[in-house]
Structure 1
Amino acid sequence: MPQFTRRVFKVWLLPTSLASYSPVMEPAISFRFSDLPLEIALLILKYAARPTFSQREKYADKNPYATALSLCLVSRLVRRTILPEFLHTISLHRCDSMRMFATTLLIQEVYAIEKSDLFFDYTSAVQRMWISHNDLVEQRCRDSESKLYLNLLVPVLLAAPALAIDWYNLKLVVQIVEDVRTSCADLDADRRHALFPGKTQSLTIMGHCINWDIFKHVRKGSVFLASIPHLTYLANIGTEGDIFRDFSMGLVSPEHPLRAWMRDIPWACMKSLETFSVVYPHLDAPYDILTYIDDTVGLDLHVERLTVSASLFRQDPASFPWVTPPFPVTRPGEKSTPSNGVSFEVTQDRANFWQFFYMWDKVWACGLAD
């Protein structure tokens, strides 16, 4: 096994009596990392390779995948061991990161053809994928480039159980999948299933506003949307923060905004939809508004998830049992079900929020939006 580091780990033997304690006691045993049994060393490296999505650190300052990328250079064994941890959650929050990941997939195709030991099946490893861009104006100008990258990403994307995507890239993905399905209409059922595995269990759309019609370009019978059971909107807290503050404080019923959002859902396409959720910061206590809008500080807040049973709503939308006064206030770490088909849940952990132009990627990557 290669020499990973020259650092010496020291094991200290504790005295049997406090009376014999000596502050100048020397270590009894010392060993290098390379002296560890292989199984233990690989477990440590797997743990070290897990990307950290710190709420405080900016990605421009620290790449969450930096440690894993460095460890991949140690040896082929280490690379193959840590890749599942490395690839579990993929965050593509810039056009450049989408391009680099697409290039990596092309390289894997070459490795597969050459039967190289460096080949690794990304499709089976990626469990969660985030795709968004901060600058949608720039993204529209590079539409053809984005479609090229997404064409390469679609096989991995369709196999990931959890997908978070902005509305613009969602439109492109739906279009790409439909085009591929049309071109493969003559394939047998098994080969079509291989192309469209339908493994996406959770579709999350970020930055949604009540007056957006994000599904207006979706054709009826979308094969991508047909098998998704859970749909979530990550609310645009910059434009609609007051609405969610009132939800957290139990001042208003969520019926009006939720009805507006649910009218936008393509029910004819999403035949398997079981739940619809909206996620937003939990603002039930007094807070410093100046800190909340300060992008250099922000506030550490719990995350609230409001979930509606889509299957119950579909049965009779006109008489669905919405929440009535007194409206519930759910506390951190708790879940409440004030009416049949509607529930509130607040995380025990917190995330750092600031009101304007907030990106949800770290909150989602940490699982706080699930």
Structure 2
Amino acid sequence: MKVLKKTLLLAAIGGSLFATTASAEQVNLTWQMWTGSDADTKGWQHLADMVTAKYPDIKVTLTTTGWVDYWTRLPVLAASGQLADIVSMQSLRMPNFYSLLEPLNDRIAADKFDVGAFTPSIIGGMSVDKQLYGLPYDVGPWVIYYNQDALEAAGVPLPKPGWTLAEFTDAAKKLTKDGKYGFGITPQNYSVLASAWGDKYVNDSGELDLTNPSAIAAADRVIGFAAKDKIAPLVPSSADAGTVIQGRFNSGNVAMYVDGPWSIIGMKDKAKFKIGLTTLPRDDAKDLAAVTAGSGFGIATTSKNKDAAWKAIQVLTSPEALQYLAEQGRALPARTASQSSWYKVAAKDITNGGEALDYSLAHSVPYVITNNWAAVENLFNQYFPPAFGGSADAKQTMESIQSLAQQ
């Protein structure tokens, strides 16, 4: 009996020691994310709490900032060694910042994590040289927004997914009258439309190549919408061109323009007409190649808790987390199985919204960009507007941008 009591006592002491050790192994992770509103922040905090609900020994502390400030501060935080354990990353900025993130391929293979559950193009967008650096939470193809009331008043049939460039141009011409325009074009639409038409502006080595015949032909089409066809208004030589065109669409001055699904929630409150979506127009002789962008979460190379961070980002991009974001209308989920929930909330009052997005995602490709893409887009903003006004042709415009981008 004495032996038994002693054994039980030792077991109790051992259990107590184990509990103390487990408590000491509590992991506190930090997560940096952008946000645009209090509602956004509450949504991200809900996801952080989901991590702790699944892993009680992991606590995630969320730090947020505005979109512009996030990208201004990111290199500063990296240089000073103050990156969070979990770093939020947009696919279009991955080529610039992937070196800050832990490569994930080995972890994915070891845990047999199913990347096939995600839209393939956004997996490509979150990868560099076939190495995945972040798990995506959302994805969005660029599409055409249209003013359904304006199309019906002009007798223009509502466009079907997969429509051609010829059909698009014909519709835009019929919608251009009485001081209003059929289409709103911005400089940054160049790469989105060139991709949709199958025209390359980056070579196979990943280098900018704006002076090849295919790239120039795409520029000629884009410039021609304003300079030749006169179906699009002129825009300022600034980064605000997109805001200007979106405003003109909301006011009814432009009947169609290019945007992504991320704008639907805000758009429905501003436009006083019925909104519809369709795909980007494809080349008359080719299939659509709709570029997508999205965002996700990676693990900082400087994190001291990489294993816990890997567990956390799996929760942040889990079916349950993305279902929650979809039901809030916050994001078109990167997981294909969760996308229908977003359609029911965000796109329920949008004509052909689900059809346009489904078709685009089924014909989607990663957005191909260079590691100095921000500088390239600044040059687009500077040199395309004068060409829209007829001051330069496509060849001159592309040669100027190519030359300056290589300096």
**Bin of the TM-score, shorter chain as denominator length:** under 0.3
In proportion to residue count, which structure has more strand? Answer: 1
**TM-score of the pair, normalised by structure 1:** 0.25
**TM-score of the pair, normalised by structure 2:** 0.23
Return the structure number with greater relative CO, CA threshold 8 A, min gap 6: 2
